[in-house]
Amino acid sequence: MSAVGTRVRDRLAADPLWRATRLLEIPRGRAVVSVLWGALSLGSSVGLAAVAAWLIARASQMPDVGAVSIAVVAVRAFGIGRGVARYLERLASHDLALRGMTALRTNLYELLARGRGEALARVRRGDLLARVGADVDAVGDVVVRAFIPSGVAVVVSLLSVGIVGVFLPAAGLVLAACLVLAGVVSPWLASRASRATEARSAQVRAEMSARTLEVLEHAGPLQVAGALDGRTAALRSTDRDLAAATDAGARVSATAAALQSLAIGLAVLGSLLLGIPAVAAGTLAPVELSVIVLVPLAAFEGASALPAAAIQVRRSRESARRIMEILDEAGAPDRAAPGPGPGEPADDRMTATGLAAGWGERPCVVGVDLAVPRGGTVAVLGPSGVGKTTLLATLAGLLPALGGRCSHPGDAALVAEDGHVFETSVLENLRVARGDLTEAEAMVALERVGLAPWVDGLPDGVATPLGPDGATVSGGERRRLLVARALVSSAPWLLVDEPAEHLEAATADELLQTLVDEARASHRGLVVATHRLSGLGALDEVVVLGQDEQQGTTTDAAAVPHGPRPATVTVRGTHDELLRTDPDHAWALAQETLGPTVPQAGPAAR
Amino acid sequence: MRPLDPRLLRYARSARAYVILTTVLGLVVAVLVVAQALLIARILAPAVSGTLGPSPLVAVAGLVGLLAAVVAARALATWTQERFALRAAARTIAELRESVVQHAARLGPRWIASGRGPEVATLATRGLDDLEPYLVRYLPQLLLAATVTPLGILVVFGLDWVSAVIIVVTIPLVPIFMILVGHLTAGAAARRLAVVQRLGSQVLDLLTGLPTLRAFGREIGPQARVRALGEANRRATMGTLRIAFLSGMVLELLTTLSVAVVAVGIGLRLLRGEGIDLEAGLAVLILAPEVYLPLRQVGAQFHASTDGLAAAEQAFEVLETPARPRGTAPCPPLRGSTVAVEGVSVRAGDRAATAPADLSFSFTVPDDGSRGRVVALTGPSGSGKSTAALVLLALHDPDEGRVSVRAADGSVVDLRDLDPRTWWSQITWVPQRPALAPGRLRDVVRDEREARDEDVERAARLSGLDAVVASLPDGWDTVVGRGGSGLSVGQRQRVALAQALLDDPARSPVVVLDEPTAHLDARGEQAVLESVRAWRDAGRTVLVVAHRASLVALADDVVSVWSQVTEPAGRTAGPASRNAPTGATEPSGPAGSGPVPANGTSA
């Protein structure tokens, strides 16, 4: 017995929905109250059917009014009770679900905040976050759409079986069997059908989506190339496959629906076939016969909600699985790597020795050596996607090193390219970097990044709230705000990703100079990742990342399935040295200086 | 919003057959519901009154058999409904998707890229799925409300007119009360919904910003705020729900209470022996909830209906956006023809500017196989160079001006009047983001052209694709995904250049190239230059949207493209110059706007 118990416990412990449900922290008392209101609501329907059947049958025997007066009152009470109890049940169960979602979100936040940075960064990167929101909702939905309805269905079914069984036990058994058909077999079929359909259609659906987007995105080129009709025909054929996948599942789900209808009919027939002889035999009063025949007509409402509940459980389990995967990753210990995380600092410098950085197992940057003293400034250069961001995250200690070592004494503040602008005031957004920042200090920092006129233009200055994810802030303003964050932070090491993005050339150069000045003045180390070359003369060292000779072009590491060779340091030195020795460097700088072509350039050049 | 939009039936043929099937099934179900109620009452009444005689089961055997048949028929009807509903929904969605995608393509790349475009993509891939619950759940109940409910009332009227009157009086109350409650609560609900959404987005905001907090070592602490926001969210949501669920309560209350009133009425009249017998009473008692059931279901599926109809409405809006009818005149052979762009202006959709503004130039395609010409379109970012290329490609109509083709025999025809397919078949377009078919790299480059291996390899050498091939582990056999996924943007561009190099110069004597702006290094630039030279030397006329000086240097003709601010309200600089990328040199052309013809733009 205890072996079985252990097995059940193990299976539950492995079930993602069960684990996620525990994070919902559902209070048992409130759950019971919700189920009771629901049972009272559907029970009113059953009660109405039972008492009304009794009332009419008894009335036909023309007794005194007094004999049926209680039944009359009861029928009316049930008539009112159903709607009211249903209202209270919906409120109670939704309250429960919302409490659960809050608990789940809080737990999720806490576990992610305390967990490994890598899992977190992956959530942000892979656009998983939008899904996390939806997944939390889906897990919360399981309460309203599956748990409470199942509880209600069980209570009401037992009640109905009880009523019928009291009068005629055999009919009660038939009703119970029919309820199992409608409340267990049918939901099982429905869930199976929906799983089969989704499994079969998932790939076709992705294909359909890709084809649709292809036609929409490339409508022009496809038309000019005369390929549009072909692609539309291909989309049609994919849609046919999708319909076929739906169709296969439809047969089973139709059977599930038909079982619902059949179960009610069978229960009524059973009551009639068992009840009529029982009346003749004198074991059942004639009035009671009408009760056991009419109760089944009202008894299936609870069970009929269960196919949808079963499907919800399955979907919620999928969502729970995704949530638990992220949490498991966040909670897992760091991978055993040659140089895990930031090692013990050897001296008062930020150092990297043979550092390999990457997401997951495969490094995208290898063999990086760095030594940045306090007040030192280094630029990491390279085409987009080469791994500059990954390198910075590893230097900051947010990603474990995949090889080699890196270390720094004290905190490092990373200004990520996709740094988040919170839906709060400008000041609070700067306080993210330092909690005790005063308004005056904030103004100084904003002035230094050239945002003073912008803040002056805001209705409440630094107290002005910004829209969700900085939607009311332009790309350039956002970039400067993020850099201002780095300036106000008290960390001795600043790692800034692409400070020049979305900025005019002159502004970009000024901003870089501001960062360099700050590093030198307050004796902080600065590492800047950029793909812009102008202004780099102000820095101590320029480190160029790239693939080796063959593969000169940029490669979006995420887009290549087999992957390019990892990038490494191809050239390094001061900006001026590189201009002299590296033709690519000089060419790239010339491109920036030239900018877009000017009208007279063409003809004049010939 | 109408519960069943007739346009749905017009645009989706599958929906038509389905509505007919559902209506027929609705009628069948209505008859079966009534038959079931009457049969149960007919069997039950004598059994309760004790008038069945000595062998009661034998006496009702026929009726019970009939009842069993009705039960089986109802199950079968349910099966059929569900079975075909899902299929019809899948087909209806597919039909609408295809129409929407096709029509959007007709409306052109600019329409797709502007405001509505992303919406159309969402609608076509996911949004239309909202039609499934509408078609599978809501519509059948709506049709049942139109069949079961009236038939049920008629039968009840025949059995007991007093009960029928009660039902007839209460049924209109259902929608009236629901609308009343809806109206009374709409304002409060909307206000609270806004609060809910704001709170919800704040929680998501904190989760989104977690990496940033962590980058500054400040991630611990805000979870108290997550909980507080969640609590506030819950209280606000519950406020909304307390109101929103009222209409549901009214619905339940009215329908159940009416059944109770009917039951009590029958009971009391039976008691007094007032013109109703037990059988009729039982039949009415069974029928009354069935009459209300479809109405309750329609109410319960209300959201499925609004979501589905909104999705359909969006699809109809796209389909009803008028597209200019295509021209029918066949395009003359472009070799020897002169293509003239005459005073073309296009209003920019998202800003108060015309880009390009009043653009004029022309070029003649040589017909003797001699060296072709390179025409470069230049101008600051946002001046309308790419739009000008779209106009020339007949993918966008100019708001002013026209493009005309003067054939070798002197006849002139407007681009609008040409059958675009005959125009496109003579042009090769290399866009910034090429549409590559999936497959092995070698086949992708060929793209169904007849080309020898050495030609493919020559094209690869010129376009710099050979370096890409050498860097890939599987070389020419590398499998490329749809749209070139698996290749970087720069690599895709080289594939497109190689493709265009394989084209037969005799078949498509004009090449339009939108020069890549990003992801181009020294070697990439060299590949573009080599390709343009190769096209030119093959006798093709090359029209390039140029961003770099090197490409302009290669051009025989340079055309400057300008934008013009249409609303000069207080602004000195037009958006075009404001949007100039970093390092832009201000154009030194004449102040204001207007075409600046370079040395003799017509060849």
Closest Cβ–Cβ partner in A383, A411, A416 for B212: A416
DSSP structural state of residue B562: -
pLDDT of residue A591: 66
Cα–Cα distance for residue pair B440/B421, rounded to 1 Å: 28
| Interchain contact, B267 vs A72, CB within 8 Å | yes
DSSP B275: S
Q: Does position B203 have pLDDT exceeding 90, yes or no?
A: no
Asked whether the beta carbons of residue B264 and residue A216 sit closer than 8 angstroms, the reply is no
pTM, two decimal places: 0.77
Structure tokens at B160: 């007991």
Please tell me the distance from the alpha carbon of residue B112 to that of residue A219, in angstroms, as a whole number. 8
User: Rounded distance, CA A531 to CA A131, Å?
Assistant: 32
Say how many CB pairs under 8 Å bridge A and B. Answer: 530
CB contact under 8 A, A253 and B86: yes
- Locate CATH 3.40.50.300 in chain A: 366-595
The per-residue pLDDT for A549 is: 47
pLDDT at A553: 41
Q: What are phi and psi of B573, to 5 degrees?
A: -95, 140
Cα of A353 to nearest chain B Cα, Å: 22
Q: Which amino acid is at A263?
A: A
pLDDT band at B211, cuts 50/70/90?
confident
User: Which of A526, A515, A529, A539 lies closest to A493, judged by CA?
Assistant: A526
Chain B nearest C-alpha distance from A429 (Å): 10
Q: Residue B363's beta-bridge partner residues?
A: B339
Tens digits of per-residue pLDDT, B148-201? 999 999 999 999 999 999 999 998 888 787 777 777 666 666 676 666 666 666
Q: What is the pLDDT of residue B567?
A: 57
Question: So what's the pLDDT on residue A256?
Answer: 94
Task: Tell me if A122 sits within 8 A of A322, measured CB to CB.
Answer: no
Q: What sections of A218-305 are H helices per DSSP?
A: 219-224, 228-281, 286-299, 301-304
Question: For A8-22, A247-261, B57-71, B89-103, which range has the lowest pLDDT when averaged over its residues?
Answer: A8-22
Q: Which of B545, B325, B536, B330 is nearest to B423 (CA)?
A: B330
Task: Classify residue B570 as exposed, middle or buried by CB count within 10 Å of its CB (0-12, 13-18, 19+).
Answer: exposed
- Pick from B51, B101, B293, B397 the residue to mutate for testing the A interface (most A CBs within 10 Å): B101
Is the pLDDT at B33 greater than 90, yes or no? yes
Q: Which of A321, A418, A449 is nearest to A17 (CA)?
A: A321
What are the residue ranges in chain A where pLDDT is below 50? 126, 334-342, 549-562, 595-606
pLDDT at B206 over 60: yes
Could you name the CATH architecture of A14-331? Answer: Up-down Bundle (1.20)
pLDDT tens per residue across span B263-320: 999 999 999 888 889 999 999 999 999 999 998 888 878 777 778 888 898 899 999 9
Q: Could you give the CA distance from residue B291 to residue B145 in angstroms, rounded to a whole number? A: 8
- Do you find a cis peptide bond into B356, omega within 30 degrees of 0? yes
**DSSP assignments along B500-513, one per residue:** HHHS-TTT--EEEE
Instruction: Compute the radius of gyration of chain B from its Cα atoms.
Output: 36
Q: What is the per-residue pLDDT for B597?
A: 37
Question: What does the pLDDT read at residue A416?
Answer: 81
Q: What's the mean pLDDT in B70-86?
A: 94
Number of helical H runs and strand E runs in chain B: 21, 14
Q: For the domain made up of A366-595, give the CATH fold.
A: Rossmann fold (3.40.50)
The C-alpha atoms of residue B560 and residue B558 are separated, in whole angstroms, by 7
- For residue A159, the model assigns a pLDDT of 96
Å from B1 to nearest chain A CA?
Answer: 27
Nearest to A215 among B80, B101, B266 (CB): B101
Q: Which segment of A324-338, B149-163, B225-239, B433-447 scores lowest on mean pLDDT? A: A324-338
Distance CA B36, CA B32 (A): 6
Report residue B91's pLDDT band, with 50, 70 and 90 as the boundaries.
very high
Model confidence pLDDT, tens digit, residues B466-499: 888 887 778 888 888 877 777 777 788 888 889 8
Segment among B62-76, B431-445, B559-573 with least mean pLDDT: B559-573
Cβ <8 Å between B263 and A52: yes
DSSP assignment of B24-51, as one string?
A: HHHHHHHHHHHHHHHHHHHHHHHHHHT-
Torsions phi, psi for B366 (to 5 deg): -65, 145
Q: Which of A316, A279, A407 is nearest to A353 (CA)?
A: A407
Q: Two tokens at B526?
A: 């060299």
> Taking CB atoms and an 8 Å limit, are B202 and A423 in contact across chains?
yes
B42, B95, B210: which to substitute to probe chain A, counting the most A Cβ within 10 Å?
Answer: B210
Query: According to the 3-state scheme, what is the secondary structure of A131-146?
Result: HHHHHHHHHHHHHHHH
**CA-based nearest distance A437→chain B, Å:** 14
Whether A153 contacts A302, CB under 8 Å: yes
Is A110–B223 a contact, with Cβ atoms under 8 angstroms apart? Answer: yes
Nearest chain A residue to B89 by CA distance is A243
Torsion sign, CA atoms A254, A257, A262, A263: positive
Q: What is the pLDDT of residue A310?
A: 94
State the average pLDDT over residues B425-442.
87
Name the CA dihedral angle for A486, A489, A494, A500, rounded to a multiple of 10 degrees. Answer: 0
Numbers of helices and strands, H then E, in chain A: 23, 9
User: How many alpha carbons lie under 13 Å from residue B594 in its C-beta half-sphere?
Assistant: 4
Q: Does B260 contact A102 at a Cβ distance shorter than 8 Å?
A: no
Q: Which residues are CB-contacts of A226 (< 8 A; sequence separation ≥ 6)?
A: B421, B424, B425
Sorting pLDDT into bands at 50, 70 and 90, what band is B520? low
User: Given this model, what pLDDT does residue B583 score?
Assistant: 32
Q: For residue B121, is pLDDT > 80? A: yes
- Contact (Cβ atoms closer than 8 angstroms) between residue A385 and residue A586: no
Residue A559: predicted pLDDT: 40
CA distance A209 to chain B (A): 5
Residues of A in contact with B250 (CB under 8 A): 83
Residue spans in chain A of domains classed CATH 1.20.1560.10 = 14-331
Which among B52, B104, B285 has CB closest to A219? Answer: B104
Q: So what's the ipTM on this one?
A: 0.81
Q: pLDDT digits over A15-34, tens only?
A: 889 888 888 898 899 999 99
The residue ranking higher by pLDDT, B350 or B175, is B175
Are A109 and B273 a contacting pair at CB < 8 A? no
The DSSP 8-state label assigned to residue B358 in this structure reads S
Element (H, E) at B341: strand B338-345
